[in-house]
Chain A
Amino acid sequence: MTDFKQQLIDKIKEGDLEMKPRWHFVVQTAFFLAGIILSALIVVYLLSFITFVLQQNGAWFAPGYGWQGLMLFLLASPWIIIGFSFLFLGLLVILAHRYSFCYERPFLYTLLGVCSIALMGAYLAERAEFHPRMHVFLNQNNVPGLAPMYKKAETRPAAIAAGTISSFTENGFMLKTESDEMIRIVFKQNTKLAPEWKNEGINIMVFGNRASNTIIAIGVRPEREFLKTNRQQRATNTVETRR
C-alpha cells in the first residue's frame, strides 16, 4: 500500500504526472458555454426557419383544411431541417446536462425547459420578422449558399398556389400566379372560403388537389401581408440590380 502512494508521489516529483493549469479548466468551461449558446442559437434559427419555410410555401395554413390539409402540411414540411433541429436540440440537452441545474432535476424538466426556451426564441424571431429581413438582405447581397436556401423556401408544392383573381367563373375563378401562370380554381361544396377572399387588390392563397392547370380547392384565404410586401420588395430589388 505504501508502494502505491510512493509510486504516485514519485511520478509527480519526476514530472510524469502534472496538474493541468487552472486556465485549462476556464477555457474548457468557456468552450462548453459557447457550445450551449451556439447550439441554442442554431436551434432557434432552425425552428424559426422551419416556420418561415412553411409560411413562404403556404403549408403553414394548410392544417386548417382538414386531413387533406394536414397531409399537405406534412408533405411540404422541410424534414431535413426538422431533423437537424432535433440533432442540435439533443446536443443542447447533452451539453446542459453537465450542469447541476439540469442533472439535479428530472430529465423531463430539462427537455421541457430546453424546448420551451427554443420555441420562445423561435417565436420572438418570427415576431421580429428575422427571416423575411434575412431573405431580403441575402437576396440584395447574393450571399452564396444562403441566398439559394432562402430562395428555395419560396417553392410552393403544386397543391398550393398564390396570386390575384383574374376573373370569376361559374364554379370558381381564374388565378394569376406570381409567375404569371393562369390556374383554374374550382370550388367544391365544402371548400372553405375566408370572408375577405374576394376583397379587391389582395393576394390570395389556394389549397387543393392539382391536376394540370386546375386546382380543386379545399380552401382559399388571403396571403399574409408581410409575405406579399416581402416578395414585392425583393422583386423591386431584383429589377434595380438588373438595371
Chain B
Amino acid sequence: MPDNVESDEEIASKVQSGDVEAFGEIINRYQDKLRRYARHFLSAEHEVEDLVQDVFSKAYINLRSFDSDRRFSPWIYRIAHNTFVNEIRRKSRYGFNFIDADTILPILAAPETSDADAINSELDAELKIHLAALPPKYREVLVLFYFESLSYQEIAAVLKIPQSTVGVRMNRGRTKLREIYDQEINKPTS
C-alpha cells in the first residue's frame, strides 16, 4: 500500500473526530465487500441493499466504540455478521446457536500441506459454484477467508469463536465442498 493512502483505521479516527465526509470513504471501501458477504447468506437483492445500509448505519452509530489501534475490517465484519445472522434468525431459515458443538472442546487444527496452494486455487473456483450448498457455519468461514481475505485470527474475532474452531470449520467446509463437487461431476448425464 503506498504511503499516501490512508488506512481504514486512520479514516475511522477522522470520522470519530467529526469528519463526516471521511465516512463516505469507509462506505466506498466496504460497500462492495459487504454486499458480496451478504449475498452469500441472503438471496433477495433488495434485502442485501437494505441490510448493508443498516450495517453502515450501525457502524456509524457505534464508531466511537472502535479502538483505532486495532484493525477496522474485523470490527465492521462483526457488525455485518450480527446484522445478517439476526435477519436469518428472524426468518428462521437457519439455526445459529450461541454454543456450537465444535466450539466446546479444544481441537488441534491440522497443519496446511505443501499442495495447499494448488488445492486452494482449485477450491476457489469450486467455492463460487457450490458454496450455497454448504451449511452456513462452514460457508461463512470460507467466504471470510477466500473472498474477504481475513486471517484466521480476524475470522475468530468476527464470529467470536476460537481460532482452532475456524481451522476445523475451514477443513470440514473444504471437505464437504469437495464431496459436493465430486457428486456433481460423477452425476450421470441424462
Measuring CB to CB, which residues of chain A are less than 8 angstroms from any residue of chain B? Answer: 1, 4-5, 7-9, 11-13, 17-22, 24-25, 94, 97, 100, 103-109
Chain B: minimal CB distance from A30 (Å): 13
- Which of A5, A19, A106 contacts B106, CB < 8 Å? A106
Chain B: minimal CB distance from A40 (Å): 20
- Which of B31, B61, B98 contacts A19, CB < 8 Å? B61
Residues of B within 8 A of A106 (CB): 103-107, 162, 164-165
28 contacts between A and B (CB under 8 A): A1-B31, A4-B27, A4-B49, A4-B52, A5-B31, A8-B27, A8-B57, A9-B21, A13-B20, A19-B16, A19-B61, A20-B61, A21-B64, A25-B62, A25-B65, A97-B98, A100-B157, A103-B156, A103-B161, A103-B162, A104-B162, A104-B163, A105-B106, A106-B104, A106-B105, A106-B107, A107-B99, A107-B103
When A5-B27, A9-B23, A106-B107 are in contact, do A19 and B161 touch as well, CB less than 8 Å? no
Residues of B within 8 A of A24 (CB): 64
Please measure, in the bound complex, the distance between the C-alpha atom of A105 and the C-alpha atom of B106, giving whole angstroms.
8
Cβ-based interface call for B53 (8 A): yes
Encode contact with A along B8-36: 1 for CB under 8 Å, 0 otherwise: 00000000100011011001100100000
Residues of A within 8 A of B156 (CB): 103-104
Which residues of B122-169 are within 8 A (CB) of A? 156-157, 160-165
Cβ-based interface call for B60 (8 A): yes
Chain A: minimal CB distance from B33 (Å): 13
Given contacts A4-B53, A25-B64, 14 further A-B contacts (CB under 8 A): A5-B24, A5-B28, A9-B20, A9-B23, A13-B20, A17-B57, A19-B60, A19-B61, A20-B65, A21-B64, A25-B62, A97-B98, A103-B156, A109-B106
Q: How many residues of B contact A (CB 8 A)?
A: 34
B64 and A20 form a contact (CB under 8 A): yes
Measuring CB to CB, which residues of chain B are less than 8 angstroms from any residue of chain A? Answer: 16, 20-21, 23-24, 27-28, 31, 49, 52-53, 56-57, 60-65, 98-99, 103-107, 156-157, 160-165
Chain A: minimal CB distance from B159 (Å): 9
Residues of A within 8 A of B157 (CB): 100
Please measure, in the bound complex, the distance between the C-alpha atom of A24 and the C-alpha atom of B63, giving whole angstroms.
12
Residues of B within 8 A of A108 (CB): 104-106
B61 and A8 form a contact (CB under 8 A): no
A105 and B64 form a contact (CB under 8 A): no
Chain B: minimal CB distance from A158 (Å): 42
Residues of A within 8 A of B24 (CB): 5, 9
A-B contact count (CB 8 A): 74
Chain B: minimal CB distance from A137 (Å): 40
Residues of B within 8 A of A17 (CB): 57, 60-61
- Which of A1, A4, A12, A100 contacts B60, CB < 8 Å? A12
Please measure, in the bound complex, the distance between the C-alpha atom of A9 and the C-alpha atom of B60, giving whole angstroms.
10
Please measure, in the bound complex, the distance between the C-alpha atom of A12 and the C-alpha atom of B160, giving whole angstroms.
30
Residues of B within 8 A of A100 (CB): 157
Please measure, in the bound complex, the distance between the C-alpha atom of A108 and the C-alpha atom of B56, giving whole angstroms.
35
Please measure, in the bound complex, the distance between the C-alpha atom of A106 and the C-alpha atom of B98, giving whole angstroms.
13
Name the residue on B nearest A22 (C-beta).
B64
A19 and B64 form a contact (CB under 8 A): yes
Residues of B within 8 A of A107 (CB): 99, 103-104
Chain B: minimal CB distance from A13 (Å): 6
Residues of B within 8 A of A21 (CB): 64
When A17-B60, A106-B104, A106-B106 are in contact, do A8 and B161 touch as well, CB less than 8 Å? no
Chain B: minimal CB distance from A66 (Å): 35
Residues of A within 8 A of B53 (CB): 4, 7-8
A8 and B56 form a contact (CB under 8 A): yes
Name the residue on A nearest B66 (C-beta).
A25
Residues of A within 8 A of B60 (CB): 8, 12, 17, 19
Please measure, in the bound complex, the distance between the C-alpha atom of A19 and the C-alpha atom of B64, giving whole angstroms.
7
Chain B: minimal CB distance from A18 (Å): 7
Chain A: minimal CB distance from B146 (Å): 22
Please measure, in the bound complex, the distance between the C-alpha atom of A107 and the C-alpha atom of B20, giving whole angstroms.
40
